[in-house]
Amino acid sequence: MRLFLLVVLCALVPSAPGQFLLQDSHTTASLRGIYSVDGKIAWASGTEGTVLRTTDGGSHWQRCSTPPNAEELDLRGIQAFGRSTAIVMSSGKGNLSRIYKTTDACRTWKLLLTNPDKEGFFDAMQFELSPSGHTGERGWLLGDPVDHRFVLMATFDGGLHWQKVYQAGLAEAPEQGGAFAASNSLLLTGLPLYFAASHGWLYEGASTCTMGLVQEHPQSCLDLFDFSKRQLPLAHQNETSGIFSLARWNNLAIAVGGNFKSPDRSEGTAAYSKDDLHWSAPQTPPHGYRSAVAYDEKNKRWITVGPNGTDISLDDGHNWSALKPDSEDQPDADKNWNALSLPFAVGPKGRIGKLH
């Protein structure tokens, strides 16, 4: 009887939360791009034209060939479609912002786009996956404002050709801020389309296109977008504060950020919404500035990371608690993270971790 009660009690106690197990990336580059295809296949990118790839869940990371003339580029965004195909985005002023693609497991690369605006700066790139999850024909690219209007571009052929969205609602907020190329997670694709910016502004692009028209004549839908913006309850005092990452799971959306110049301040670091209209600040916020957020489906929780720590939420963003390493983890396993694509996280100096 006592044994039975012990088994029941153990079943009722939640398992110990997993922590990031540090992996050997064989690079000292600062990493901000990470994309996990299925937990085993993953791609990462960073400074000095660095692209990494694993096909065994991170036991071995291989350094890919550097895209042409990208040795000094900061590759801040990457998205992959299997073990052979990936698209990478660099961030920088003017022609330092580019898009490259590989289809042969990163042995060779093709330059798809160079920023045509001398004052432009690419911030984030997201492709919509097909039902199979292996191809991405329709993609979106966000850039800092040029002539006081955010740059939003779309592709319908996997990145070969790009078209600008010309819409008055893309005008920047009065504070004249931009967006943050921190973790390539500022965009939420689909209809409506969302992107986040400094000073706590969230832009929503609604469209009168029907799903049938989107599928049959996607280009014609670009002129039918209508963008509006609202300020979320996140830090918005200056250009170093605002929303740094967006994520969605079912009907719930989470935004995280803060002020990256004050990474230990917990005020204004997160918000949540169940209807995309009403956003609320959490009762207990993350413990500092956070640059990326994602839903951990395996452990049924939200997780957000930043330079000074990692936080989790078990109640859909209402309350956040610090995820601290235990005696079996590396002492700093919770710190110094830039971006998430679970189960992986990446950070400065070649830092890669896998949630376990």
143 CA to centre of own chain: 15
10 Å CB burial of residue 116 (0-12, 13-18, 19+) is middle
Q: What's the CA gap between 168 and 185, in Å, rounded? A: 24
Residue range 288-300: mean pLDDT, rounded: 96
2 assigned to some structural domain: no
Q: What's the CA gap between 173 and 201, in Å, rounded? A: 8
pLDDT tier for residue 172 given thresholds of 50, 70 and 90: confident
139 assigned to some structural domain: yes
Q: For the chain, what is the domain count?
A: 1
Q: What's the CA gap between 155 and 162, in Å, rounded? A: 5
Residue 154 has pLDDT above 60, yes or no: yes
Residue-number span of the structural domain to which 105 is assigned:
23-355
Global pTM reads 0.91
pLDDT tier for residue 219 given thresholds of 50, 70 and 90: low
16 assigned to some structural domain: no
6 assigned to some structural domain: no
CB-based contact 341:42 (threshold 8 Å): yes
256 assigned to some structural domain: yes
Under 8 Å CB-to-CB from 254, ≥6 apart: which residues?
246, 247, 248, 270, 271, 272, 293, 295, 302, 304, 317
CATH of residue 52: 2.130.10.10
CB-based contact 139:126 (threshold 8 Å): yes
10 Å CB burial of residue 171 (0-12, 13-18, 19+) is middle
Quick count: other Cβ atoms within 10 Å of Cβ 12?
A: 7
349 assigned to some structural domain: yes
140 assigned to some structural domain: yes
pLDDT tier for residue 237 given thresholds of 50, 70 and 90: confident
Residue range 170-183: mean pLDDT, rounded: 87
CB-based contact 345:336 (threshold 8 Å): no
Under 8 Å CB-to-CB from 304, ≥6 apart: which residues?
245, 254, 256, 270, 286, 290, 292, 293, 294, 310, 311, 312, 313, 320, 340
